[in-house]
Structure 1
Amino acid sequence: MTETMIRLQVEPLTREAFASFGDVIEASDAAHHFTINGGNTERYHDLAKIEPGSDGRSIVSIFRGQPRALPFTVEMVERHPLGSQAFVPLSGSPYLVVVAPAANTPGVEDLRVFLARGDQGVNYARGVWHHPLLALDGVSDFLVIDRAGEGPNCDEIRLDEAGVIEF
């Protein structure tokens, strides 16, 4: 890797901006929602396409992320070629989401950085490159829905050039 670092811009996480990478999981008016349980509960329905792959099964885990200090240098990304991976924050704290398109091996110029609110989750579509968990304001728990099954489901690469998030 060269010593060059590209400054990465942070943008707000929205359904529209994130659509090519997967789903934004949030209770918003844009989501299909309706009242259930005798009018006591609002159900925000079918928020993410969970893909365990043909030979996999969906599993639920909790990841506890340590906070990352800013500025943060992005030197690697990973992807899950056999299934999607969803992260739903449980601690209510904002976090960063770094992604690149699934199509090719990404370079730093392909990265996008989103600031997710503590009430927004993400579902990385199958094969989408992303950086591992980037908690910001302290130790943060995330409910994670992803794939278990046969076959390797995590590819990691080091970027030729690093990107820095200064925020």
Structure 2
Amino acid sequence: MPTSMPSPSIRIPVELLTQASFSQFGTVIENPAHSNAPRSQRLPFNAVSANQGTALKFVDVTHMTDLYHVAPSKKPARAVMNMFVCAPRDLRPHEPAESMPSSWGDIDFDDDEDGNNKRELFDVGILERHPFTTQTFIPMGLSQFDRHTQYLVIVAPTLPASASKRHVDRPPPYPTPKINRKKSIKDIFARARPSPFTNEAAPPPSQFSRLHPSQRPKGPGLPDLKNLRAFIANGNQAVTYGAGTWHAPMAVIGDRPIDFVVVQFANDVAIEDCQEIVLKPDRSAEEGMVVMVDSDSSGKVLVKAGVGSVKAKL
């Protein structure tokens, strides 16, 4: 049975999925020539000629990270590739509400509706994370020009462990046990500065320092619901969640299912491969965590916040 946590009543507007807006959570994979992001924010890339000059190869578009060596069980992981066939989600009709996400301030989006547009609501009832591996979702058979089927990418930062305990009055749900072992004399003296063995004045860099912040371990904390964000992705975009990034299961919006190839590491220890949190609205909350899905007459989801939003309100 997954752990649960109280959820405030917050409505989240949809943002455009770009590498700049998503960088703290992972990587957006797309051909830079087809990116919807402003030219100044498009993915940096190194393109090289390939296939006897008939193709361009974009190098290192994302990085797979295997952190299972720090998992409690120490059981090694293997690279796995699965396919998820994700059906379109049921959305509920729009109902006016006063609550808005703190990350966008006290903004009222209810009075900027266009008569030709439609607003529906997606309830976020569960978040999950894969604490020791990145996870890449690659859509198949979906064109970037398909206005009738897209998908939501819903993510949240991780709270510090101390803040998690304050929020739910209990320790974090998935702590990583500390392995107690006797320290040798060499271990004890190695912590001294300057080091008696190397004469270095600074401590050695962390083994995770070479990793992008989105790829580093996030700790045992709960998701930061007040800063939950929702992005809309089209058929030419794949996405990599950084190791330990809290995210909702993939949510397809539109007319038909999307087939996703999913690439990650796994060691078959359930609690180390996937951790879940069920979001239960506070007794005083009207509805919990809700993503506002605005669409035009063709069914295309509209961007209502951040870069590329249809309308900015000051």
5+ residue gaps in structure 1?
none
Of the structure 1 ranges 26-35 and 112-121, higher mean CA displacement relative to structure 2 is found in 26-35
> C-alpha separation between the residues in 2 aligned to 1:3 and 1:12?
25
The aligned counterpart of 1:110 is: 227
5+ residue gaps in structure 2?
34-42, 70-75, 92-120, 143-148, 159-217, 282-287, 294-314
3-state SS, counterpart of residue 114 of structure 1 = strand
Aligned-pair distance for 1:3? 8.8
> C-alpha deviations, 1:98-129, integer Å up to 9, x for none?
00114431243121101111111110011000
The aligned counterpart of 1:60 is: 81
TM-score, reference length from structure 1: 0.90
Q: Quick check: 1:91–1:142 contact (8 Å CA) kept in 2? A: no
Letter in 2 for 1:132: P
Aligned-pair distance for 1:154? 0.7
Which structure has the larger Rg over C-alpha atoms? 2
> C-alpha separation between the residues in 2 aligned to 1:33 and 1:144?
25
The aligned counterpart of 1:144 is: 262
1:164 paired to 2:282: no
The aligned counterpart of 1:122 is: 239
Q: 1:28 aligns with which of 13, 22, 32?
A: 32
The aligned counterpart of 1:81 is: 131
The aligned counterpart of 1:69 is: 90
> C-alpha separation between the residues in 2 aligned to 1:2 and 1:155?
17
Percent of residue pairs bearing the same amino acid type: 35
> C-alpha separation between the residues in 1 aligned to 2:17 and 2:265?
24
> C-alpha separation between the residues in 2 aligned to 1:7 and 1:154?
26
1:155 paired to 2:275: yes
The aligned counterpart of 1:5 is: 9
Q: Quick check: 1:107–1:160 contact (8 Å CA) kept in 2? A: no
3-state SS, counterpart of residue 20 of structure 1 = coil
Letter in 2 for 1:17: S
Q: Quick check: 1:24–1:120 contact (8 Å CA) kept in 2? A: yes
Aligned-pair distance for 1:60? 1.3
Of the structure 1 ranges 104-113 and 57-66, higher mean CA displacement relative to structure 2 is found in 104-113
Q: Structure 1 or 2: larger strand share?
A: 1
3-state SS, counterpart of residue 123 of structure 1 = strand
The aligned counterpart of 1:14 is: 18
Q: Structure 1 or 2: larger helix share?
A: 2
Q: Quick check: 1:25–1:48 contact (8 Å CA) kept in 2? A: yes
> C-alpha separation between the residues in 1 aligned to 2:253 and 2:26?
22
Q: Quick check: 1:83–1:125 contact (8 Å CA) kept in 2? A: yes
The aligned counterpart of 2:54 is: 40
